[in-house]
Amino acid sequence: MSASRPVRRKPLFAPLVMGVVALVAVFLIFPFGVTIWRTIGEAPAGLKELTAAFASGALGRVMFNTAIIVMGGAFIATIIGSLLAFINERTDGDLGAAGELLPLAPMIVPPIAGVIGWAILLDPNVGFGNSFLRWLLGLVGVESFTGPLNIYTPAGLMAITGLYLTPYVYLVVSAALRGLDSALEEASRVSGAPPVRTMLRVTLPAIRPAIASASLLAIIAGIGLFSVPIVLGTAARMDVISVYIYRLFEQFPPQTAAGLLLSAAMVAVVQSLLLAQRYLAPGDRNAVTGGRGARAGRIRLGRLRIPAKILAIAYLVSTSVLPVLGLILVSLQSFWTPIVRWNQLSLANYRFVLFENGPTSRAFVTSFSLGAAVATVAVLIAALVTLQARQQKGASSRWADIVMSLPATLPHTVIGIAFLITFTPKPFQFYGTLTILFLAYLAMALPFAARAAAAAASGIGIDLSEASRIAGAGPGRTFWRVLLPLSVPGLVAGWIIVFIHTAGEVTASSLLGGARNPVIGRVMTELWVFGSFPQLAAMSIVVTAVTSVGVAIMLFFSRYSARMS
């Protein structure tokens, strides 16, 4: 009886996968190549414009504002995110459902809506929160007609920026803590050290590289952050670099050369920080992990357990509940006033933005349609490329990772400018069209879709595809009948993430959207600038309701996938 010959592994869909990777690479590289070429060509004019801006003091103020707001926000995020990660991963005060929701908090309420909600609460004149604080102060004899808090200050901008950067820190630090041996912490507890001392003297020093990496990641995200400075910074007259570049392209006549040079400088700074962040990334430079994980022998907080849970709940309330309450109150008023007349509240603003006002109603249809289309295309591309490439574990897998993650290394402001510069002139002339919005959204969505597909692929063994081929199934049938069905829960979660990010996208929408095809991000920014606050609040609540449903569905599929794995 002859011995059966081993089945040779042949690349699955190798020509097709590499063809798709090549098309995606061309699609991404072409606009950035055009932008780089034009930046080089217009560098002399850009230097002249920037020199004049620096001499007038405008550019210097923007750079100073960017530094203090981003660094301050990243510092706040590092403190809060590291503390919450320590509580959830290393103590008996784990956050439970709150810990699961914490990284998703910015998705529950889109940043633009959350920031506007905080402005409604802490506006020094008509903010609901300040009105309530003035009432409390009046009870003790302190009269005030403004404040006491003012969100339109550097401290206000740093605090709100920190809230929306906290999940970046939390995810990195919590991952490092999960892989850290608990023996040193147990030894500290045995020697009688209280939980706080154990955290400060043992745990946090052991993951210092991870904390530094998380801080750099928060700074990178803060540099590209647009929703906080465009809302709060505009009212405070404190522009940061992302908003300043946006204004250079939006003003008339636009200072394109200066905007391109500043965009190139932003990319250079971000890429430098990314290199530093990768050097500090957990895994290579963390303390050596041992045999027991973080779940073994958790630190008992004792009386500190309740304050720890309160901290997590306070963060979730700050990023979701409080802003939404402020938005709801304003959305039910005919005009924004801190004095709520309950008998005069109505749903008129919702009727107006959903059905009666052309730009807002079209914005909902356009953004949600684009979100669904972009999510579908991005997830299909990611599923084809990432699932098959991960099964092969070869050169195609490495190239797929590089190509699909390329846009993640660029701020959304730069992506919007690249597509604006490339597809606005002839022969394309796509400005303000659905085409340019779709292309820009797709470029920004690919990294999210690729991460979801990679997470789904990690739970599928190569043996399954091998068994399918042994049974006589071709590569196409193996993909459609084996790989894709098994990854559906993860891909659905990725689809929802892409949909939420695309539908509420503000940065590129502000640069590329036009009157013919209004989108939610641009319309909400314009409503804020023009002072249409009740309509803006109603629009924000509608978007928040849609994203909240999406997050709930995503959590369901994530739990379903975990049960099936």
For a pLDDT cut of 90, what percent of the chain falls above it? 37
Going 197 to 200 to 203 to 206, the CA torsion angle's sign is: negative
Looking at per-residue confidence, does 562 or 211 come out higher?
211
- Which of these ranges, 35-39, 165-169, 473-477, has the smallest mean pLDDT? 473-477
In this prediction, residue 208 carries a pLDDT of 84
pLDDT digits (tens, 9 = 90+) for 139-178: 888 888 888 999 999 999 999 999 889 988 988 888 888 7
pLDDT value, residue 17: 66
**Residues 6 or more apart from 261 whose CB is under 8 A from it?**
39, 42, 43, 46, 47, 50
The rounded distance, in Å, linking the Cα atoms of 423 and 291 is 55
Arithmetic mean of pLDDT, 444-461: 80
pLDDT band (50, 70, 90) for residue 463: low
CA 113: distance to chain centroid? 14
Give the residue extent of every domain in the chain: 11-41+343-565
Q: Is the pLDDT of residue 370 over 90?
A: yes
Identify residue 253 by its one-letter amino acid code: P
- In which band, very low, low, confident or very high, does the pLDDT at 68 lie, cut at 50, 70 and 90? very high
Determine the angle formed by the axes of helices 533-564 and 358-382, rounding to 10 degrees: 20
State the pLDDT at residue 281.
Answer: 63
What is the 8-class DSSP label of residue 319?
I
Which of the four pLDDT bands, split at 50, 70 and 90, describes residue 371? very high
Asked if residue 28 has pLDDT above 90, the reply is: no
Q: What's the token pair of residue 357?
A: 């006002």
Which distant-in-sequence residues (6+ apart) come within 8 Å of 181 by Cβ? 287, 288, 289, 290, 291, 292, 293
SS (H, E, C) 402-428: HHHHHHHHCCHHHHHHHHHHHHCCCCC
Of 30-39, 106-115, 437-446, give the lowest mean pLDDT range.
Answer: 106-115
Using DSSP's 3-state secondary structure scheme, residue 84 falls into helix
Q: In the predicted model, is pLDDT for residue 258 greater than 90?
A: yes
pLDDT at 297: 56
Mean pLDDT estimate for the chain: 83
**In whole angstroms, what is the distance from residue 344 CA to residue 333 CA?**
7
Residue 35: its pLDDT value, please?
A: 93
How large is the average pLDDT for residues 108-126? 89
Q: Are 285 and 278 spatial neighbours (Cβ–Cβ below 8 Å)?
A: no
Q: Which two tokens stand for residue 408?
A: 């993640």
Q: Band the pLDDT of 12: cuts 50, 70, 90.
A: very low
Q: List C-alpha distances in Å: 285 to 207, 214, 277.
A: 9, 13, 11
Fold of the domain spanning 11-41+343-565: MetI-like fold (1.10.3720)
Q: Are 323 and 118 in contact (CB under 8 A)?
A: yes
Identify the band that residue 294 occupies on the pLDDT scale cut at 50, 70 and 90: very low
Percentage of the chain with pLDDT > 70?
Answer: 84
Amino acid identity, position 107: M
Compute the distance between CA of residue 260 and CA of residue 418 in angstroms, rounded to an integer: 9
Q: So what's the pLDDT on residue 1?
A: 45
Check: CB of residue 134 under 8 Å from CB of residue 547.
no
When pLDDT is averaged across residues 94-108 and rounded to a whole number, the result is: 70
Q: 384 or 480: which carries more pLDDT confidence?
A: 384
d(Cα 216, Cα 272) in Å, to the nearest integer?
10
Mean pLDDT of the region 540-557? 85
Gap between the Cα atoms of 359 and 322, Å rounded = 28
Query: What is the tally of helices (H) and strands (E) in the chain?
Result: 30, 0
Measured distance between the N- and C-terminal CA atoms of the chain, rounded to whole angstroms: 39
Q: Does the pLDDT at position 550 exceed 80?
A: yes
Checking if the pLDDT of 97 tops 70, the result is no
What are φ and ψ of residue 91, in 5° steps? -125, 170
* For residue 260, pLDDT beyond 80: yes
- Res. 560 pLDDT band, cuts 50 70 90: low
- What is residue 64's predicted lDDT score, i.e. its pLDDT? 95
Look at residue 10 and tell me whether its pLDDT is greater than 50: no
Residue 407 tokens, joined: 């846009």
Are 222 and 240 in contact by the 8 Å Cβ rule? The answer is no
Residue 444 to residues 171, 369, 404, 413, 503, Cα–Cα distance (Å) = 21, 16, 10, 11, 12
Q: 493 falls in which pLDDT band (50, 70, 90)?
A: confident
Q: Are 498 and 506 in contact (CB under 8 A)?
A: no
The encoded tokens of residue 353 equal 């933005």
Beta bridge partners of 299: 91
Q: Which two tokens stand for residue 216?
A: 């750099």
Task: Please tell me the predicted confidence (pLDDT) of residue 31.
Answer: 93
Q: Tell me the pLDDT tens digit for each residue of 221-257.
A: 999 889 899 989 988 889 999 999 999 998 888 899 9
User: In this predicted structure, which of 8-12, 253-257, 343-347, 519-523 has the lowest mean pLDDT?
Assistant: 8-12
Q: How many CB atoms lie within 10 A of CB 344?
A: 9
Cβ atoms of 217 and 277 within 8 Å: the answer is yes
Phi and psi angles of residue 50, each rounded to the nearest 5 degrees, phi first: -70, -35
**Is 53's pLDDT higher than 50?**
yes
Alpha-carbon distance 60 to 251, whole Å? 19
* pLDDT exceeds 80 at position 320: yes
Rounded Cα distance between 273 and 281, Å, is 12
Three-state SS letters, 87-137: HHHHECCCCCHHHHHHHHHHHHCCHHHHHHHHHHHHCCCCCHHHHHHHHHH
